[in-house]
Amino acid sequence: MQRRGFLAGAGAFGVAAAVGASRLAAAERPWDGSIVPYPDPAFEILDPRFAKYRIGNAAVERLATGFRWAEGPVWFGDLRVLLWSDVPNNRIMRLVEDTGEVSVYRQPSNHANGHTLDTEGRLVSCEHSGRRVTRTEHDGSITVIADSYQGKPLNAPNDPLVHPDGGIWFTDPGYGRNDYANERYEIELPMNVYRVDPQSGAIAVVSDELGKPNGLCFSPDYRRLYIADSGATHDPNHPKEIRVYDVTDDGARLSKTSQTFADTSPGLADGIRADIDGNIWVGNAWGGTGAEGVHCYAPDGTRIGIIHLPEVTANLCFGGLRRNRLFITASQSLYAVYVATRGAHFA
């Protein structure tokens, strides 16, 4: 068979056979560095639309392990470096892609959770300790972007996002208020989503309707904002879903009401990212055996595929030279896999 035919066949191989079978195969898949058969059984194709995103001769790789709760990956394209949080260990980790070297980037990290890059390539971090959002300047100094609203301290900022206009958006669900990942304290504010104005620095509530707003991402054209609601961690009757809003006011506000984009049951959506086709890739957590991993939703909200992992999955981002390498933080480990699409945004 010619090479082109092999790759094409591998990419679409066994769509029908994969549905319902991959879950069992993924459970038996080795995660200790042993040889993995192609196509990787970690991929489960629930809808034929997902088949084209699986590269038939690319496997999910465990790049590093030994963490306590891995979170918030962010890709620096100019350095070919990935940063991510190890929240309970109070540190930010660093992976150099070219060499595979893993080291500590910052410790203490103020129990940093989610990260992103701003329009100037600076690191923006949500920190549980200090209950603040910070920016690391090019000279290494740290600027506090937000630590209170209307005179009250933030709960424990979780995930940040930057709009092309420079506005910084972040969720504040209040996770991490315990002796394991921060410290104990009572919160004084609702579970809001905020925007920091790039000119004035003023902080405004853009959404207050979610149980526990978690991961968030823009659509490829920045006209919609998706927010994971993980309120079911504290209320078992709360919907497990991703909500979607229209972005209004030239990128400064959201529509007053939102719609359900996707039901993420049995698990909870944590970190989320969009690809260039408008699919939403989701770190799906606490769904039990067979549900842990990355879930991919088509633009119409249909769950079209799963990349199964052996650990509770938190967050993800697209990176690599062409933004087609999906980096995934899951419990104690960092994973990566090449997919046949690209991240919609630079962070």
pTM equals 0.93
Q: What is the pLDDT of residue 9?
A: 35
> Average pLDDT of 102-106?
98
**SS3 category, 194:** strand
CA distance 114 to 270: 11
Structural domain boundaries in the chain? 1-59, 62-338
pLDDT score at 21 = 54
Burial grade of 53 (CB within 10 A; 0-12, 13-18, 19 or more): buried
CB burial class (10 A; 0-12, 13-18, 19+) of residue 282? buried
* Residues 131 and 155: beta-carbon distance below 8 Å: yes
- Amino acid identity, residue 57? N
Q: Which is more confident, 257 or 102?
A: 102
How does pLDDT run across 121-140, given as a tens digit for each residue? 999 999 999 899 999 999 99
Q: Is the pLDDT of residue 209 over 50?
A: yes
Q: What is the pLDDT of residues 246-300, one digit of tens each?
A: 999 999 999 988 999 999 999 999 999 999 999 999 999 999 888 999 999 999 9
pLDDT of residue 23: 62
DSSP 56-100: TT---EEEEE--SSEEEEEEETTTTEEEEEETTTTEEEEEETTTT
Q: Which two tokens stand for residue 34?
A: 């042993």
In CATH, what number does 62-338 get? 2.120.10.30
Answer whether residue 5 shows pLDDT above 70. Answer: no
Contact between 126 and 71 under an 8 Å Cβ cutoff? The reply is no
Has residue 15 got a pLDDT over 80? no
**Torsion angle defined by CA atoms of residues 63, 66, 69 and 71, in that order, rounded to the nearest 10 degrees:** -30
Average of per-residue pLDDT across 60-75:
97
* CA-to-CA separations, 325 to 60, 61, 107, 158, 320, in angstroms, rounded: 10, 11, 27, 24, 5
pLDDT at site 176: 85
